[in-house]
A = this chain, B = another copy of it.
Amino acid sequence: MTPKQFDNKLSGSSFKLQPLYKQVEEHVIQLIVEQHWKPGEMLPSEFELASQYNVSQGTVRKALNSLTDSKILTRRQGVGTFVSEHTGHQALYRFFPLVADGEKPELPKAEVMQLRLLKSVSTEILNSLGLKAKEKVIFLSRRRILNGEYCLLEDIHLPYKYFKELLDEEEIPHTLYHFYQTRFNLTVHKTVDKIKAVLARASDAKALEIDRGEPLLKFTRVTYSLDGKIIEYRVNRCRSDRFHYLVDLE
């Protein structure tokens, strides 16, 4: 049999052909990105997909399992295969690394402090967001509360081109990543944090109700969507006396 391909959009010229299961994976991702299947929706069964793509059920299975490993799909035996929705405990904690010392992880509340279009944008922010000069950026700052204490200040920078409608939003939910997914069709897939220790500036101290000069954890985060777009650049400052940043590596 000759190698197959469902969709020749990508390979006008003679590129090396991907394995079939990879092609299925990529096509499924594309359909999710294009909102053909939305978060929470059920996909067709393995057999249906197999016949649509003209491959065997085992090949579809390999693709779906791989996407399940990378948290893009969720499978439930006896029920079906679903597009992951970033709700539910596991998904919500996945990208939130702060834990109160000696406590179980808990989701913080968020208090919006500012939301506006930036008039001028530093080149650091532009670079971090992968934007060209003069592209517009939305600024959102929040204060988060864990265990009844202010724990974290977030300065969030969002490319205006993806989040235009955000400025008209009345209420902004606490769980931003789920909000990005449902409201803007941007599924967070990867984050890169750079963590440093700094001293609290006067403004930090005031907002967190601590003393100036206390040590804080500062982490900058770049956030990527399913299709590899940079969708967010954050600078976070966090009290470190009763909270820590948790990293599991396995």
User: CB within 8 Å of B: which residues of A?
Assistant: 69-70, 94-95, 97, 99, 189-199, 215-219, 240, 244-250
A216 close to B195 (CB less than 8 A):
no
Task: Report the bound CA distance from A179 to B193 in whole Å.
Answer: 29
Which of A95, A196, A198, A245 neighbours the largest number of chain B CB atoms within 10 Å of its CB?
Answer: A196
A195 close to B215 (CB less than 8 A):
no
Choice from B97, B189, B197 contacting A216 with Cβ under 8 Å: B197
Choice from B69, B70, B215, B244 contacting A215 with Cβ under 8 Å: B215
B94 close to A191 (CB less than 8 A):
no
Contacts of A218 in B (CB 8 A): 197
A195 close to B192 (CB less than 8 A):
no
Task: Report the bound CA distance from A189 to B248 in whole Å.
Answer: 11
7 pairs, A vs B, C-beta closer than 8 Å? A94-B249, A192-B249, A194-B246, A196-B215, A197-B218, A215-B215, A217-B217
Task: Report the bound CA distance from A249 to B193 in whole Å.
Answer: 8
A193 close to B240 (CB less than 8 A):
no
B192 close to A97 (CB less than 8 A):
no
When C-beta atoms are compared, the residue in chain B nearest to A241 turns out to be B196
B70 close to A196 (CB less than 8 A):
no
Contacts of A249 in B (CB 8 A): 94-95, 190-193
B195 close to A248 (CB less than 8 A):
no
Task: Report the bound CA distance from A246 to B190 in whole Å.
Answer: 13
Choice from B189, B195, B197, B246 contacting A250 with Cβ under 8 Å: B189
Smallest beta-carbon distance A218→chain B, Å: 8
Contacts of A191 in B (CB 8 A): 247-250
Contacts of A247 in B (CB 8 A): 97, 191-195, 219, 247
When C-beta atoms are compared, the residue in chain B nearest to A71 turns out to be B250
B248 close to A198 (CB less than 8 A):
no
